[in-house]
Structure formats: C-alpha cells, structure tokens
Amino acid sequence: MKTSEIKELTTKEIIERLESEKEALVKSGLNHAISPLDNPMQIRAVRRNIARLQTVLRQRQLNENQK
C-alpha cells in the first residue's frame, strides 16, 4: 500500500487497517515459524505497511493538535 493511498483514507479506516495489518503480521510470523513461507519478503512488506500507517496517523494527530 502506497503512502498516497493511505492519505486518502479516513482516520477511522487507517486505525482499522492498522489493526488488520498487525494481525496479519502475527499470523504470518507464526506460519513462518512452523513451516517456511513461499515468500518471506511478505513479512517485511507487512511491517513496512504498519510503519506507513502509523506515520500517517501520527502526522494527523500532530496536525490536529496544532489547530
């Protein structure tokens, strides 16, 4: 998911997407521990998506506090 796509989402949608991405990270980590994933780079992609979501969410919180 690109940053431009994330910025188009509402704050509520970002929070929901963040929770689902965290769940996906846990599941893929557990699956990878049991049997190796076909593409272990998926774990990195999920972690980066989580970071992008958190960054945009934090930017919005800072903008609201400045107003």
pLDDT value at residue 67 = 79
pLDDT value at residue 64 = 92
Q: 24: domain CATH number?
A: 1.10.287
Give the tens place of pLDDT for each residue, 6-16. 999 999 999 99
- Of 24, 26, 28, 49, which Cα lies nearest the Cα of 38? 28
Its domain, for residue 51, covers 3-66
Token couple for 46: 């999920």
9's CB contacts (< 8 A; 6+ apart) are: 17
Q: Dihedral sign, CA of 13, 23, 61, 7?
A: negative
The domain total for the chain is 1
Amino acid at 10: T
Give the tens place of pLDDT for each residue, 38-47. 999 999 999 9
- Of 30, 64, 28, which Cα lies nearest the Cα of 43? 28
Give the tens place of pLDDT for each residue, 20-66. 999 999 999 999 999 998 999 999 999 999 999 999 999 999 999 99
pLDDT value at residue 47 = 97
